[in-house]
Structure 1
Amino acid sequence: MADKCDLCLLGLIILSSLLTGTSGDDVFISSGENVRLPCNKALSDCKSKTTWIYYNRFRHSEVKLITGGIKNKDSERHERLSLESDCSLNIKNVTEEDSGLYTCRQYVNYRPQGPDAYASLHVLHVSVSPSSSSSSSSSQTEISPGRSVTLSCQLYSDTGFSCDYWVSSEGYELLWVNQAGVDLKTDSRYQILSSSDPDLCIILTLTTTLLNEDDNRECRCQLTLGNQLLTSVRYTVKYSDPVASPTLIPVRSSNSEKTSSRTTATAPTQVIVIIVEIAVLLLLL
């Protein structure tokens, strides 16, 4: 019942934007990047009159990020937010948790002015399987050749529609490609599985066993709409340095070797001299 209410609420928001002549913007971004969400307002001194609201129906959360131009410090992301002079909202170092619907609303004398502006933020994120690597980051993983690695490309999106409908009807598609832009589905080395999740929308998983020549090789997950590239995430595999085993290296013409050779050569001579001296002494006695 709650899910239906959330869907109805989102539908009313979209319907309201259509009736008032304000269209929502779909913004696609990769995790870790910075994004700017437009407000489309031209009021003077808009900062003190602007409120930004974040809504995500999956997490059932609605938060006022900025009220009257002042950031809400109770928001977990307030340190990454800033308000521009044109009232657009900047988000630094975007994470998958930032996906959702953003509403820009302005007030004059405590009354809303004009229609709201909407922006739907869709975040593309790549993660590596925890069992595949002992050291990883958002764009690079360290692993040894011969092991299997699994990369999951996930599109976090709050569209208000089912993911299957969004993909089949709108034509959005996720692809794993190599450095040359060739679809990795054509390479039998890579196993690629596509699935959907209500909270994520699209998941495209890539699994392969790494070879020696894969060191520093880059692959890319990209989101397309028809022939248009919307956003992409690059991922580089970097092999960790193996522990070097101790090796014996012959020393040639080193000073230490010459010194030890001289010492070894003079030792027998000194012994002979001592023996002769003792023999002479015995004869005299």
Structure 2
Amino acid sequence: MCSREKSLSVQQLIEGQEMLVLELVLIVVLQFEGNRGGELHLYHRSGDDVVLTCNSPSSSYSCSNVTWFYSTDTRSASLSEVQNGKVDQSSPRAARLNVDSNCSLIINNITAEDAGAYACRFGSGTTFDGIVLLSVLTISPSPPGADPTKDEDFTLQCSLVRFSELGPCPEKSLLWVDETGSELLGEGVGFKSGGQTGCDTYINVKLQSSSNRRYTCQFVEGDTVKVEAHYTPVFKVIRGEGVHIYHRAGDDAVLSCKRPSSSRSCSAVDWFYTTAENMERQHEVHGGKVQSSARAARLRLDNNCSLIINNISAEDAGRYTCQLWDGGRFDTDVHLNMMSISPSPPGADPTKDGDFTLQCSLERSRGLGPCPEKSLLWVDETGSELLGEGVGFKSRGQTGCYSDLTVKLQRSSNRTYTCQFVEGNIMKIEAHYPPVFKASTDWSPLSFIMMTLRITALILMVGITVGIIRTRGSKKPQKDINVHDAVDDDPVDYENDEERSAATFC
């Protein structure tokens, strides 16, 4: 028994010496520049998943013989992350490590602490089959607890963490660029660059009224960008309660944007549109200007920054978001619901058949789901609801946001069919459909002549009537040339004698 324990202790001592030798070899290999011909340099952003490859000496080697070592610098001992192809569960990051079928070491969701030197070995030899130097680029508000949504400006810190023996980063290797790719040097509109110190660089940022503001930190070696990280400021978002508006096809819709009282210009307003069919967001208005699109000619902003859509159609239904920047972000969602009523199928001609089908549909935002049951109603011109089957109609009920009504043609100009969308006890929108009857346009020559004679006779009658009226109006009543006077009740007549020029009275 003692001899066996002695044999085991000797074996453990030998394995411990081998591990120490391997650690020393790793330190020596990484310390001298001339021995780095087989190194692989990897650059990644914080949060990436990384694959560190190991060059197998032959295809016959099994991953059960692979060991992975890790070191942050040459002054500390290397750590064994993988032994005999299995992740060392004592490692604090064991849950993020894995070995694939190629014996590569996979690190998920890397952090700055994962930067350093990695070496792999097959079998029990003293040489390494792969050395990988992993550098990690991070970008975040500085100090770490800073909240860019609360202050007028804040500081961004960009750091490249790498194997310490590589030394500081070359001068001007860490650059700041904006969303257009322009380098941010010194001080400019909305920023002040702090320059580079070692492998760190800072930039002071002022809150900008723009949803597209983005800051990018790049690590450049020579003329090559090895890695870059992006940061988009997260502004405080105030979202107003969603507004639902209802319109008929062909209407002009006005979508209101709620603005704080301090906001005066529409140049800080963006409008986004999410279609009824899918959730892809389209940029309709940027900086107060309508963007190029198939319906740009029907869009405009008024003085209140409201979006006006002329002659709306089913394709215009959906969710519209007004995004306003004014020291923060103010979002207003407007859900445009559009009702249409038309013969079904669309090519049907209600003038040719004895009956036809009307389809009423309500198009709205996809996220709102189907219309509530019994929310689409048919009524006639008297306001009476059309249910089931009756004189001149047959209702098929409602399916989702559609309702059909089969109508028999009736020779009545007052016949009107109305579709209503009712929510609770409130009618939100209604559309009307009066059937169109075909008028006969077949004219024979005799019919044309008779119609011409009737029109001519009518014109003559009107002319004669007007002439009679004018003639009667031109005749004046005859003057009474007899002068009547009464004295003592005896009438005295004075006759105007045409031969005398005057009369003398005594």
* Fold in common (TM above 0.5): yes
Deviation digits for residues 96-116 of structure 1 (CA, Å, limit 9, x no counterpart): 000001011111xxx317544
- Aligned counterpart, 2:229: 233
Q: CA deviation at 1:186?
A: 6.3
In 1, Cα distance between the equivalents of 2:52 and 2:202?
A: 29
In 2, Cα distance between the equivalents of 1:178 and 1:96?
A: 24
**C-alpha distance 239-16 of structure 1, shift in aligned 2 (>3 A):** closer
**C-alpha distance 58-179 of structure 1, shift in aligned 2 (>3 A):** farther
In 2, Cα distance between the equivalents of 1:160 and 1:62?
A: 14
Q: CA deviation at 1:67?
A: 0.3
- Aligned counterpart, 1:86: 102
**C-alpha distance 16-158 of structure 1, shift in aligned 2 (>3 A):** closer
Q: CA deviation at 1:123?
A: 0.3
Which of 143, 151, 156 matches 2:149? 143
**C-alpha distance 115-131 of structure 1, shift in aligned 2 (>3 A):** closer
1:29-40 equivalent positions in 2, closer than 5 A: 29-40=44-55
Which of 28, 51, 57 matches 2:43? 28
SS of the equivalent of 1:57 reads: coil
Q: CA deviation at 1:15?
A: 6.4
**C-alpha distance 59-132 of structure 1, shift in aligned 2 (>3 A):** farther
Q: Which amino acid aligns with 1:180?
A: T
In 1, Cα distance between the equivalents of 2:145 and 2:25?
A: 41
SS of the equivalent of 1:118 reads: strand
SS of the equivalent of 1:48 reads: helix
1:212 aligns with 2:209: yes
Q: CA RMSD in A?
A: 3.1
The runs of at least 4 aligned residues of structure 1 exceeding 6 Å deviation read 8-11
Is the 1:31–1:94 contact (alpha carbons within 8 Å) kept by the matching residues of 2? yes
Deviation digits for residues 75-112 of structure 1 (CA, Å, limit 9, x no counterpart): 011111111222111111110000001011111xxx31
1:126 aligns with 2:139: yes
Unaligned runs of 5+ in 2: 1-23, 241-257, 261-506
In 2, Cα distance between the equivalents of 1:96 and 1:23?
A: 24
Instruction: Output the TM-score relative to the length of structure 2.
Output: 0.39
**C-alpha distance 118-202 of structure 1, shift in aligned 2 (>3 A):** same
In 1, Cα distance between the equivalents of 2:82 and 2:74?
A: 22
- Aligned counterpart, 2:178: 178
1:50 aligns with 2:62: no
- Aligned counterpart, 2:157: 152
In 2, Cα distance between the equivalents of 1:116 and 1:23?
A: 9
In 2, Cα distance between the equivalents of 1:52 and 1:241?
A: 46
Unaligned runs of 5+ in 1: 1-7, 134-141, 248-285
In 1, Cα distance between the equivalents of 2:180 and 2:77?
A: 41
**C-alpha distance 243-180 of structure 1, shift in aligned 2 (>3 A):** closer
- Aligned counterpart, 1:283: none
In 1, Cα distance between the equivalents of 2:41 and 2:99?
A: 19
Is the 1:51–1:104 contact (alpha carbons within 8 Å) kept by the matching residues of 2? yes
Is the 1:224–1:230 contact (alpha carbons within 8 Å) kept by the matching residues of 2? yes
Q: Specify which structure has the higher proportion of helix.
A: 1
Q: CA deviation at 1:18?
A: 4.8
1:97 aligns with 2:113: yes
Q: Which amino acid aligns with 1:226?
A: G
In 2, Cα distance between the equivalents of 1:13 and 1:207?
A: 41
SS of the equivalent of 2:232 reads: strand
* Bigger Cα Rg: 2
Is the 1:25–1:119 contact (alpha carbons within 8 Å) kept by the matching residues of 2? yes
Is the 2:187–2:193 contact (alpha carbons within 8 Å) kept by the matching residues of 1? no
Is the 2:140–2:231 contact (alpha carbons within 8 Å) kept by the matching residues of 1? no
In 2, Cα distance between the equivalents of 1:231 and 1:161?
A: 17
Give the stretch that moved more between structures: 118-127 or 186-195: 186-195
SS of the equivalent of 1:12 reads: helix
- Aligned counterpart, 1:259: none
In 1, Cα distance between the equivalents of 2:213 and 2:66?
A: 46
Is the 2:72–2:164 contact (alpha carbons within 8 Å) kept by the matching residues of 1? no
Q: CA deviation at 1:22?
A: 5.4
In 1, Cα distance between the equivalents of 2:212 and 2:57?
A: 48
- Aligned counterpart, 2:462: none
Is the 1:82–1:89 contact (alpha carbons within 8 Å) kept by the matching residues of 2? yes
**C-alpha distance 123-56 of structure 1, shift in aligned 2 (>3 A):** same
**C-alpha distance 227-236 of structure 1, shift in aligned 2 (>3 A):** same
1:236-251 equivalent positions in 2, closer than 5 A: 236-242=232-238
Q: CA deviation at 1:27?
A: 0.7
**C-alpha distance 45-162 of structure 1, shift in aligned 2 (>3 A):** closer
Q: Which amino acid aligns with 1:143?
A: T
**C-alpha distance 222-87 of structure 1, shift in aligned 2 (>3 A):** same
SS of the equivalent of 1:217 reads: coil
Q: Which amino acid aligns with 1:120?
A: L
Q: CA deviation at 1:188?
A: 1.3
In 1, Cα distance between the equivalents of 2:27 and 2:154?
A: 41
